Structure 1
Amino acid sequence: MARADAEHGIRPFARLFKDAAEQLRNADKGFRHEFHTSDSSRSRSAHPDRLAEGPSGGSGDAPPPRSRPSDPYPKIELHVHLEGTIRPRTLLDMARRNGVVLPADNVEALSEMYQYRDFDHFLEMWRTTTGTMRTEDDFRQAVIDYAREAKSHGVEYVETTFSPINRNKWDGIPYPAMFNGVADGITAAAERYGVTVRAMPSMIWGGPPDLAEECAKWAVRYRERGIVGLDASGNELGRGDVSQFDRAVAIARDGGLGIVPHAGEAGGIDAIREVLRWNPDGLQHGIAAAGDPALMAELVDRGTVLRVTPTSNVGTRVVADIAEHPLPRLREAGVRCSIGTDDPALFNTTLGQEYELAEQLGISPASAYQAGVDGALCDDAVRQQLQEVGEAAFGDHPA
């Protein structure tokens, strides 16, 4: 994209919302800006079998990679961004039908762009993906496509987040189009693949509180169509005073939704402590808690389930190397951790691979599954069904 403002996804419609767009410009993902590139090995995939293969890349024409040892086990995923599930071929198809110009016009060239030079390049690809989704059908297709992929890895239940605020204010996509697309995708995923999908929109750290409240109101309107919670994502380091979102959280709570914010990824221990004011139902990431025994004990007492994504944590430099991941410390402290992919297309991973990594770090498939059951925002009937699937696969006492 040639125009300077277009580089940040701010299109003509967003000029009506210039102040809001400026605040949201760099808030799409909650990754820190200190991206270290001096050690080239750190730009590689965190999956141990691929550490010697160079930078992580997308799958292009090939189907998503499968993980042999863990695929037979049932799985639950509570942390995946819908926009981050879109593989290169689908991204190109979306761009062509929506008239969006991508920086590459074929699968191979686009896949090469998933081999990140640095952190800014990763953010560029994130914005490219989200900016390509323009229609109700795009959101519906993304849900269905990921349900199909997840099913191939034994997934029974998925909670996905999506980011409607920026798409509405930058691209002028109506909220009903996005929410209807996600809701229709949820229905189709169950019918076609037997995968139960639930979703939650994200507020944006550092964004205007009134936009967060608007997002919360739309989420409540779709509570009966598979919207189960409210997230908060973006740049944790620019989150500001989190109390500015108290009203949005109250709207969601009053409407029967759960609260599961991103906290403790790049924002450290303080980010976790600050969101505990909302008594969250879980935390996206939360791994910074491993540096504070008192905080870990508090999370155990609260019954808080963390939604951990090992490969993503290495890819964003929150963790320097998979061997240094804090999952073992969290497990030893009794903090329950479910396992997710975060952005599987952008990190070239699958939930099967994440379960394998977690097992190497001491989190058994049974334990990860049970944490998913306990941390899900689903209704009691779905939870009971998931519990029965887990007991049939792992027994009554997850390791």
Structure 2
Amino acid sequence: MPKPKIELHVHLEGTVRPALLADIAVGNGMAPPAPSPGRFADLHDFIVTWNATTGCLRTPTDYRIALLAYAEEAAGHGAVHIEPIVDAEPRLGLDGWADVLAACVDAAAEARERYGVSVGLTPQVFRGQDVGYAEEAARIAVRFAGRGVVGFGLSGAEGRHPTLPYARAVALARDGGLPFVPHAGEAAGPEAVREVLAMGAARIRHGVRAVDDPDLVTELVERGIVLDVCPTSNLRLRVADPGRPHPLTLLHHAGVRCSVSTDDPALFDITLSDEYAVAAGLGVDAASAYAAGLAGMLGTDTDRARLVRIGRAAFGGIDVGPAS
């Protein structure tokens, strides 16, 4: 049996394996997308492939199928808790977005029953998106707070599109009970991490460029901010320089809590077990990754207590925090 794992940074749309994606595309009257190359010039190059690939998902049923498929896959690699990201894509329309979230909430409950993995959904908007649409999407996400949606995020190309125009969308979500879990410190440097911290980030997806600022690293340690690190993604998107120590190694050694995730496993052709093996080679063992995942997870107190029990049974003296 694989060791238990917690995955906090995985884009639902990027989990769909090629065969299933082809079936979904054909069902929507679309040609199957070209296979992902797996490696990219940078984040912006990756986004082009992302849009071409994930645009095949059009209906609530597509998202339901995708979530159940990944919950089963992740559970097979030892996942006991996952927090899939779901994008508020304009192609869905606001009513369609609400229907997608409803389908995902139902699928999350089904995944728990079928596969024994708790699922906390973290919908998000993205930099460069129409601000009014993003704010309405946040209001819709709040409808599902306490019903399976546990956080609200912001992604997109840092440095190419600003973050601050989405401050109201973030505030709407946070006031509605959804903690802010943004992407930052991937395409842009420490200033991007500081920006989302100032906006109240509860956890940061990526955040690895913080290594360029020792004072920021110290702040992350002191504040107990968890970074959701995706080691292979960082290498494939050239966020991490292969000729230097991986940021995960440096951050972990500095005392920053780093969870381990796949980001977009189908697009990178990796699995959660692969990513944990990479992390172990970089100095972050399964116990440390689990502890960081537990520190950063946004599920219910009941879910957290369950994960504490699982962690203590699997890793013994691991620091998993107090039981709820």
TM-score normalized with structure 2 length: 0.93
Aligned to 1:129: 53
Match in the other structure for 1:85: 15
Larger RCO (CA under 8 A, 6+ residues apart): 1
Corresponding residue of 2:224: 303
Of 123, 126, 131, 1:204 maps to: 126
The answer on whether the counterparts of 1:138 and 1:181 sit within 8 Å (CA) in structure 2 is: no
User: How far 1:83 sits from its partner (Å)?
Assistant: 0.4
Between Structure 1 and Structure 2, whose CA radius of gyration is higher?
1
Aligned pair partner of 2:251 in 312, 325, 330: 330
User: What residue in structure 1 maps to residue 5 of structure 2?
Assistant: 75
- Distance of aligned partners of 1:193 and 1:332 in 2 relative to their CA distance in 1, 3 Å threshold: same
* Aligned sequence identity (%): 46
Q: What whole-Å deviation, never above 9, does each CA across 1:220-269 have from its counterpart, x for those lacking one?
A: 001132111111001011232x3322211211111111111000011111
| Deviation, structure 1 residue 344 | 0.2
Q: What corresponds to 2:315 in structure 1?
A: 394
- How big is the shift at 1:191? 1.3
Given the alignment, which residue of 151, 157, 164 partners 1:229? Answer: 151
Matched, 1:378 2:302: no
> Distance in 2 between the 1:290 and 1:306 partners?
12
Q: Which amino acid counterpart does residue 249 of structure 2 have in structure 1? A: P
Match of 2:267 among 328, 346, 365: 346
Q: RMSD in angstroms over aligned alpha carbons?
A: 1.9
* 1:164/1:178 contact within 8 Å kept: no
Q: Which amino acid aligns with 2:191?
A: D
List aligned pairs for 1:186-205, cutoff 5 A: 186-205=108-127
Matched residue, 1:96:
26
1:188 counterpart letter in structure 2: E
Between the aligned partners of 1:115 and 1:282, the Cα distance in structure 2 is 27
2:41–2:237 CA contact under 8 A, matched in 1:
no
Distance 1:121 1:258, change over 3 A: closer
Distance, in Å, in 1 between the alignment partners of 2:276 and 2:296 is 16
Looking at structure 1, the residues matched to 244 and 198 of structure 2 have their Cα atoms a distance apart, in angstroms, of 32
Unaligned runs of at least 5 residues, structure 1: 1-70, 104-109
Does the Cα contact within 8 Å between 2:291 and 2:318 map onto a contact in 1?
no
Q: In the TM superposition, what are the counterparts of 1:1-399 in structure 2 within 5 Å?
A: 72-103=2-33, 110-111=34-35, 113-116=36-39, 118=41, 122-169=46-93, 174-240=96-162, 242-321=163-242, 324-398=245-319
Aligned residues: 319
TM-score (norm 1): 0.76
CA distance in 1, matches of 2:91, 2:260: 27
- The 3-state SS of whatever aligns with 2:84 is strand
| Conserved? CA contact 1:102–1:128, under 8 Å | no
- The answer as to whether partners of 2:190 and 2:213 remain within 8 angstroms in 1 is yes
Contact 2:260 2:275 in 1 (8 A): yes
Q: Secondary structure of the residue that 2:9 maps to in structure 1? A: strand
Distance 1:251 1:122, change over 3 A: closer
Deviation at 1:320, TM superposition (A): 2.5
- What letter is aligned with 1:79? H
